[in-house]
Amino acid sequence: MAEGRRGEGHSAFGEAAGLFKGRNRKAENTVSWEQNVRKAVPYVAGEQPRKPDIIKLNTNECPYPPAPGVKKLAEELDWNTLRLYPDSHSTILVETLAEYYRVKPEQVFVGVGSDDVLSMAFMTFFNSGRPILFPDVTYSFYDVWADLHRIPYRTCPLDDNWRIRPEDYRQPNGGVIFPNPNAPTGLEESLETVEEIVLANRDAVVIVDEAYVDFGGTSALPLVEKYDNLLIVQTFSKSRAMAGLRIGFCIGSEKLIRYLNDVKFSFNSYTMNLPSQLLGAEAVRDDRYFRETTSKIVATREYVKEELKRLGFIFPDSRANFIFAAHETVPAGQIFRALREADIYVRHWDKPRIGNYLRITIGTDREMDRLLDFLKDFL
């Protein structure tokens, strides 16, 4: 049964009818279609349990609802417009973002979550055949995309304090990507460090993934005017409370954005649905609500840091909407399982370097108090 495969069987009818007689001979000199499948090891996202009353601190979503205007607009949406294809350029959203971030609309590209934008950017910009560079401890989608798009890559180890070593990014490469603040550490590198890395790589595209920049971080956006090879990627999934609508975007030089659009329009013209375009633009217009919710999350984060310290946790000083914490004595896996039993979901990876850490998303004050109360009892 050398050519036998799982799930492959001969029907009694087929045997009786002699349909499989010449089969083995054929298998020897032809290639199975499965040999030509693009094999991918998919990214594993945090769980989305559909249970009521759980405390969900495992995927860095916003604990507050989207801006009130978003709800109002969703209720007023003319459903008859859904007959039509959406605007393939997402003009309303692109122009609203351009105005908000004070760049030209030609410098903005939107996609179905920043995952879509990032995957498209990998495909568009990382084609030199040389390895792209990213940190060893980082967003675990980067190596998945690299493999999917057949891009070689090399990881650069963070130092013992989870810091990026800019000198690592001076080796020959086909591109650079890192989140700032980094995930899952939450640590932010200075604008000087970002610029140092961009400066050392003027012959490749440097992507800064700013999924968490709105929680007190400093964006590298001002550098975009200076460096035409720098791409800044952001998302509505965390700070704008819209993970369910799937909206991401990037800002860069007009040239970078033009190349991205050429690839996008060769792939699927209508990536973004109409409701996401309209509701996304509405969310950007309510800057006050945005600032209010993000500063509430920052305040909760700082309070939780103090409490966790008191409970014997150590963690890098997060600038994101999560804390990456290890306990001084109790293994992370043990805490993770106990929390899960209590319907409190956090994230834990069984991976080198980070196996003893939990990534805890910042929820509401009430949710965090329930977490802290549980930990006080448990530890």
Cα–Cα distance measured from residue 251 to residue 262, given in angstroms and rounded to the nearest whole number = 16
> Would you count residue 114 as binding ligand PLP (CB under 6 A)?
yes
Decide: is 210 part of the binding site for ligand PLP (CB under 6 A): no
Cis preceding linkage at 131, omega within 30: no
Binding of ligand PLP at residue 113 (CB under 6 A)? Answer: yes
58 interacts with ligand PLP by CB under 6 A: no
Helix (H, G, I), strand (E, B) or coil at 218: coil
Is 354 a binding residue for ligand PLP by CB under 6 A? The answer is no
Task: State the nearest-atom distance from the C-beta of 225 to ligand PLP, in Å.
Answer: 24
What token pair was written down for 222?
């001002």
Name which position in 97, 197, 241, 243 contacts ligand PLP (CB under 6 A).
243
Rounded to the nearest angstrom, the gap between the alpha carbon of residue 286 and the centroid of all alpha carbons in its chain is 24
| Residues from 246 through 275 that contact ligand PLP (CB under 6 A) | 248
For tokens 């509401």, the residue is: 364
By the 8 A CB rule, do 232 and 224 touch?
yes
Q: Does 368 bind ligand PLP (CB under 6 A)?
A: no
Among 277, 222, 294, which residue's Cα sits nearest to residue 251? 222
Task: Please tell me whether residue 280 binds ligand PLP under the rule CB under 6 A.
Answer: no
Give the range of 94-102, 111-119, 213-221, 307-315 binding ligand PLP by CB under 6 A.
Answer: 111-119
- In this structure, are residues 165 and 156 in contact, taking their beta carbons and an 8 Å threshold? yes
Spatial strand order in the sheet of 313-314: 313-314, 322-327, 358-361, 347-348
When asked if residue 162 is in the footprint of ligand PLP (CB under 6 A), the reply is no
Binders of ligand PLP in range 136-155 (CB under 6 A): 139
Our finding on whether 321 is near ligand PLP (CB under 6 A) is no
Nearer to ligand PLP, 206 or 211 (CB): 211
Comparison of 148 and 375: residue with beta carbon closer to ligand PLP: 148
Least distance CB 248 / ligand PLP (angstroms):
4
Contact (Cβ atoms closer than 8 angstroms) between residue 55 and residue 371 = yes
Task: Please choose, out of 14-22, 34-42, 113-121, 278-286, the segment that lies near ligand PLP by the rule CB under 6 A.
Answer: 113-121
Per the listing, tokens 């601190």 go with 57
322 binds ligand PLP (CB under 6 A): no
379, 163 Cβ separation under 8 angstroms: no
Instruction: Tell me the window of 11-19, 36-44, 110-118, 156-164 that interacts with ligand PLP (CB under 6 A).
Output: 110-118
Start-to-end CA distance of the chain, whole Å, equals 55
| CA dist., res. 345 & res. 59, Å (int) | 9
Residue choice 61, 168, 188, 209 for contact with ligand PLP (CB under 6 A)? 209
C-alpha Rg value of the chain to the nearest Å: 24
Residue with nearest beta carbon to ligand PLP = 113
User: Which residues of this chain interact with ligand PLP, rule CB under 6 A?
Assistant: 60, 113-115, 139, 179, 183, 209, 211, 235, 237, 243, 248
